[in-house]
Amino acid sequence: MNNTRTKNALITGASKGIGKAIAIELASQGINISINYNNSKTEAVELQAQLKSDYNIESCVIKGDVSNKEDCYNLVETSIAKFGSIDILVNNAGIIDDSLMIRMHDDAWEKVIRTNLNSIFYCTKPALKSMLKNKWGRILNIGSVVGIRGNIGQVNYSSSKAGMMGFTKSLAKEVATRNITVNTITPGYINTETVDVLKQEQKDTIMKWIPQGHFGEVEDIAHLAGFICSEKSNYMTGQIISVDGGMAI
């Protein structure tokens, strides 16, 4: 691939939180962004305006529920139709639906697995064709520290994120000779809406698990994502990188 060509990224769940921070980081590198959202249209449109104003890059806003296979395909097709290629795919969208295993409804298991794990297959497979054509690509999955260490009440979420790590290592081997890298970042507890809704008692308990003694910020994830998705990370693939204040130690 001509490395001077403007690159194009698709980020799932990009309207808020970690996804938004990654979109801003990549846009600061001059990368065009496809902003996927499911329910947060206002935030997605506002982000699009921000990226244009601050970085003068092109972007598009694409509605899609990544728990739906057809929506995944449409995200990729729409992004390629807009920009001509997908060079960078960030599988960021995810949900939680917590409950003890004995009380967990089947729907809670299936929805979390479809959204967090099945989606990365159905988004990555068509995007990979574009990367193979250009002989360059970056696939970045956003996992979780609980995929490494588990967590009470999150057998569905932990399973989905653990599966993501196996996906990462296997696909990295398949495309290693094609100048395409596949990596996963496993965030710990980051100051997002998911953490904001926790009770103070829960926050205090979690804080005891974190050697650094504080929650992370979305920029802590985004800065690493910017490196992994850049030309500078050519020799890094199949890696699971924790950004969690030492929680996974």
Residues 166-200 pLDDT 10s: 999 999 999 999 999 999 999 999 999 888 888 89
Contacts of 137 (CB under 8 A, 6+ apart): 86, 87, 88, 89, 127, 128, 130, 131, 175, 178, 179, 180, 181
Domain range for 195: 8-243
Cα gap 24→208, rounded to integer Å: 31
Q: Per-residue pLDDT for 208 more than 60?
A: yes
Helix-, strand-, coil-residue percentages of the chain, each rounded to 5? 50, 15, 35
pLDDT on residue 196 = 85
> Which residues participate in catalysis according to the annotation?
157
Residue 68: inside a domain, yes or no? Answer: yes
> What CATH number is attached to the domain comprising 102?
3.40.50.720
Q: What average pLDDT score do residues 150-164 get?
A: 97
Q: Please tell me which residue, 142 or 203, carries the higher pLDDT value.
A: 142
Residue 3: inside a domain, yes or no? Answer: no
Residue 20: inside a domain, yes or no? Answer: yes
pLDDT band at 3 (very low <50, low <70, confident <90, very high): low
pLDDT on residue 4 = 55
pTM for this predicted structure: 0.95
Write down the mean pLDDT value for the chain.
96
Cα gap 75→71, rounded to integer Å: 6
Q: What average pLDDT score do residues 114-140 get?
A: 98
Residue 200: inside a domain, yes or no? Answer: yes
Cα gap 246→249, rounded to integer Å: 5
Which of 73, 77, 55, 57 lies closest to 65 in space, CA to CA?
73
Q: How many domains are contained in the chain?
A: 1
Helix (H, G, I), strand (E, B) or coil at 41: helix
Tokens of 239: 């890696």
CA-atom Rg of the chain in angstroms: 17
Degrees to nearest 5, angle at CA 237 with 235 and 243: 110
pLDDT on residue 2 = 45
Residue 103: inside a domain, yes or no? Answer: yes
Where are any strands of DSSP class E within 101-230?
137-142, 180-187
Type and span of the H or E element at 129: helix 119-134
